[in-house]
Every structure is written in C-alpha cells, then in structure tokens.
C-alpha cells in the first residue's frame, strides 16, 4: 500500500516571496507519477504540476516547480513570486503505474497555504 | 474537449433519507470514473471507482453505493443517510491509460 504524507497542515507566505511545501511518500513501486493539486476556496480541484518518477529532471510550470528526490521519496513544491490567488489547500498525490486500468490516486492530507498581502 | 458535470452543488438531507448524486462526463468514451469524499479540513478518500459500465469497486465499507448505468454516468447513492455521511463529494475521471485525474465541481452534503 502507498502512503503520502504532508507534514505541514498550514503555511503562510508574504506576497511575492517564495514558499516550499513538503511531501513524502512510501511505496515499493519503481514506476509512478506524483502530482500537486490545488484546491482554492471554490473547492475546485486543479492540477498544478506532474512529475514522472522515471524522469530525473524536475518538473516546472511557470512559477511552480518541484524538487523530486526519488531515493528519499520526497516531492516538494516550490511556489515563486507568490500571488494572492495562490491561497489554497495544496494536495500531494501519488499513482503507481502498476495499478492497471483503474489509475487510483492516493492523496496526502493537504497543506493550507495563505498568501499574505 | 472533455468536461465533467456534477450535481447538485449543495444538498441538505435529514438523517435516514435517501441520496442520489450524479456525475456525467462529456467528450470522451470509456473513462475511468471515481467518487471521492473530503471531510472538513482533511484530504480526499477514495470511495468507489469504475473502469466500465456495471463495474464498481469499493474502497471503503460504508453506507454508500455506486452505480454506472451508462458509459459516462456515475451515480453515488444511499438508502438511508447517516450523520457521518456529511462531507464534500467529488467525482473525477481519467482516460484509459492516462494518469491525469480531472475533477467535477463537487457536492457539499450536509446530513442533519
């Protein structure tokens, strides 16, 4: 069974600053995907960024980037130039490629990020 | 393009009443469909998933059931709601062989 742990229930950052959200996971799988999802106050789940485990290069999407450390089973999200609209709950998620056609994601418990003006 | 519709957005039901939440996907065929529940201030718990019509897998024993009467329709039901069924319910889908999960807008269920 896979587990995803987000040890920071809440974080805050000043507008325009950089913040890093932590995520660790436990799995015996070798091939998998990792994701960060964002859930703003509207509660709509939005995919922020995706990382394939077989890729050594860290994924980047505009102001969002990850630090993927496969050996350490760590997958942190860095948000640069934080904006007020980044205020949301952020979820780390994992999916093993061996799950066949079902593609079941396992989610962490979330980190509530507040961007302060 | 693919879209996912989930309704109603909010629902208030008395204990012991039945429940039916509906989710439909447009613009794709044979999607994998999922029901998640999110308790207040917590993460997402997978309740049911389906890889095809009539095929339902349950992750958590509970008071709820799911059905997939059509390829792109997924229904979450209960015959008698409990207080503990309150929460935010999210429908989601992925394409066959895809790892990206797309979510509906959710249903906030309050059981009183």
pLDDT in tens, chain B (112 residues): 778 999 999 999 999 999 999 999 999 889 999 999 998 767 888 899 999 999 999 887 678 999 999 999 999 999 999 999 999 999 999 887 677 889 999 999 999 9
pLDDT of the residue at B23: 96
For B11, counting Cβ atoms within 10 Å of its Cβ (0-12 exposed, 13-18 middle, 19+ buried), the class is middle
**Which residues of B lie inside 8 Å of A (Cβ-Cβ)?**
32, 34, 42-44, 46, 49, 51, 57, 59, 88, 90, 92, 94, 96-103, 105-106, 108
The distance in angstroms from the start CA to the end CA of chain B is 38
Question: Closest residue of B to A6, CA-based?
Answer: B43
pLDDT of the residue at B39: 80
Does the pLDDT of residue A110 top 90, yes or no?
yes
Task: State the number of CA atoms in the 13 A half-sphere of A23 facing the CB.
Answer: 27
Token pair for B70: 């059509």
**What part of A 12-51 touches B (C-beta under 8 Å)?**
33, 35, 42-45, 47, 50
Q: Which of B7, B2, B16 is nearest to B74 (CA)?
A: B7
Does the pLDDT of residue A103 top 70, yes or no?
no
Does A104 contact B90 at a Cβ distance shorter than 8 Å? no
Task: State the number of CA atoms in the 13 A half-sphere of A73 facing the CB.
Answer: 16
Q: What's the mean pLDDT when you consider all of chain A?
A: 92
Q: Which residues pair with B54 in a beta bridge?
A: none
Token pair for B32: 């994998």
Does B44 contact A47 at a Cβ distance shorter than 8 Å? no
Q: What are phi and psi of A80, to 5 degrees?
A: -95, 155
Name every chain A residue with its beta carbon within 8 A of the beta carbon of B102. 47
Does the pLDDT of residue A14 top 70, yes or no?
yes
Question: Closest residue of A to B33, CA-based?
Answer: A102
Name every chain B residue with its beta carbon within 8 A of the beta carbon of A33. 99
- Note whether B36 and B90 are within 8 A (CB): yes
Does B51 contact A102 at a Cβ distance shorter than 8 Å? yes
Cα A114 to chain centroid distance, Å, stands at 16
- Note whether A45 and B104 are within 8 A (CB): no
CB contact burial B73-102 (16+ within 10 A = b; e otherwise): ebbbebeebeeebbbbbbbbbbbeeebebb
């Amino acid at each position: 069974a896979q587990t995803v742990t987000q040890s920071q229930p809440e974080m805050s950052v000043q507008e325009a600053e950089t913040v890093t959200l932590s995520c660790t996971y436990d799995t015996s799988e070798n091939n998998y995907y990792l994701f960060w999802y964002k859930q703003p106050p509207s509660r709509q789940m939005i995919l922020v960024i995706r990382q394939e485990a077989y890729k050594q290069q860290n994924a980047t999407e505009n102001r969002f980037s990850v630090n993927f450390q496969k050996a350490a089973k760590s997958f942190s999200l860095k948000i640069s130039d934080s904006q007020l609209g980044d205020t949301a709950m952020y979820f780390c998620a994992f999916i093993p490629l061996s799950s066949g056609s079902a593609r079941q994601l396992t989610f962490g418990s979330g980190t509530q990020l507040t961007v302060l003006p | 393009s693919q879209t996912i519709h989930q309704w109603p957005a909010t629902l208030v039901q008395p204990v012991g009443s039945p429940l039916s939440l509906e989710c439909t996907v447009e613009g794709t065929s044979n999607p994998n469909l999922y029901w998640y529940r999110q308790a207040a201030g917590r993460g997402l718990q997978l309740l049911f998933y389906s890889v095809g019509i009539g095929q339902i897998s349950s992750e958590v024993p509970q008071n709820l059931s799911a059905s997939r009467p059509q390829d792109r329709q997924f229904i979450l039901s209960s015959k008698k709601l409990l207080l503990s069924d309150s929460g935010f319910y999210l429908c989601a889908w992925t394409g066959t062989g895809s790892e990206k999960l797309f979510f509906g807008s959710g249903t906030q269920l309050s059981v009183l």
